[in-house]
């Protein structure tokens, strides 16, 4: 990709170009790779600590992001060498994604991005009994992406955003949200949960580069609807509306008691009419 990096910076010198890099557990190899990509004029680096296809047997990709001690060491090498900002890309294939995110930030990274793809097996051909996709009769677990991972990605990004706000000055660091983004609304959801930027990959592969322009226009429409003038006006705005299951039950019970006190909604089974089933049901549901 080095040739393409140089071409892009020559054609678009005022645009931001971020190099995504991955290497095995070898300090000298990482340092050489960083030198080579920085020579092309790139503006920042995203380090792939998360790809499930990253040859874990060679301590690459997700194998690093799943081992916080290894991550701390490799992050230290990278941030000591790099002269441009560094984002560490997190894997969702881990119990608590805030743990590697915390390590990456403490090891000098300017930010984190999340999530990469989710480890999966796509299926089995029930005629041949071979896994899919199939290469010479064999396969390997791989990364699942696109719309199906969007809810999972939102949850992971929110967890990281809350950790960054409570343990770091989140305005000094950056969080990039990734996972199933195909519309401006998808992007807005990540920002509402604390992301500074949003990335798209599978969406462009599926729908073409025109998706990016349409996504930006839809995001602007969302901002106009709420009179937001910048991303910061609504970044993280939805986090405060999340609580615990216990608290949700308490709030609902309290709301039910309040409605009963003012005799709102149906009071007993004999009040059901049948014809007004939907309206009568909604009358008993809290807002």
Residues annotated as catalytic (active site), given as ranges: 51
Question: Phi, psi at residue 124, to the nearest 5°?
Answer: -125, 135
Helix ranges (DSSP H) in the chain:
2-11, 27-38, 62-65, 68-81, 98-106, 150-167, 184-192, 202-207, 210-225, 245-261, 277-282
Q: Give exposure, 165-186, as e/b (b: 16+ Cβ within 10 Å).
A: beeeebeebbbbbbbbbbbbeb
Pick from 196, 184, 183: nearest CA to 221: 184
- Strands 118-120 and 142-144, bridge-based pairing: antiparallel
DSSP 8-state symbol, 57 = G
10 Å CB burial of residue 142 (0-12, 13-18, 19+) is middle
| 57 CB-contact burial (10 Å; exposed 0-12 / middle 13-18 / buried 19+) | exposed
Phi-psi region of 99 (alpha: psi -120 to 50; beta: other; left: phi over 0): alpha
């Amino acid at each position: 990709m080095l040739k393409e990096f140089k071409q892009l910076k020559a054609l678009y010198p005022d645009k931001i170009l971020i190099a995504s890099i991955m290497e095995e557990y070898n300090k000298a190899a990482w340092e050489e790779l960083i030198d080579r990509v920085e020579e092309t004029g790139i503006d920042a680096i995203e380090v792939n600590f998360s790809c499930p296809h990253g040859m874990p047997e060679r301590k690459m990709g997700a194998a690093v992001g799943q081992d916080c001690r290894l991550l701390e060491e490799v992050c230290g090498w990278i941030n000591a060498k790099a002269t441009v900002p560094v984002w560490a890309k997190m894997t969702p294939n881990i119990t608590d994604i805030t743990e590697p995110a915390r390590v990456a930030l403490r090891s000098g990274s300017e930010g984190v991005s999340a999530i990469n793809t989710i480890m999966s097996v796509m299926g089995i051909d029930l005629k041949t009994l071979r896994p899919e996709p199939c290469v010479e009769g064999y396969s390997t677990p791989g990364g699942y992406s696109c719309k199906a991972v969007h809810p999972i990605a939102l949850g992971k990004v929110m967890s990281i955003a809350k950790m960054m706000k409570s343990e770091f000055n989140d305005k000094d660091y950056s969080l990039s949200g990734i996972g199933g983004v195909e519309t401006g609304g998808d992007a807005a959801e990540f920002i509402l949960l604390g992301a500074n930027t949003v990335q798209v990959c599978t969406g462009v592969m599926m729908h073409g580069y025109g998706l990016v322009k349409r996504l930006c226009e839809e995001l602007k429409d969302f901002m106009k609807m709420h009179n937001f003038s910048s991303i910061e006006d609504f970044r993280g705005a939805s986090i405060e509306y999340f609580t615990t299951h216990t608290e949700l039950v308490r709030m609902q019970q309290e709301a039910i008691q309040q409605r009963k006190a003012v005799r709102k909604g149906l009071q007993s089974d004999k009040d059901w009419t049948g014809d007004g089933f939907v309206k009568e049901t909604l009358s008993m549901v809290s807002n």
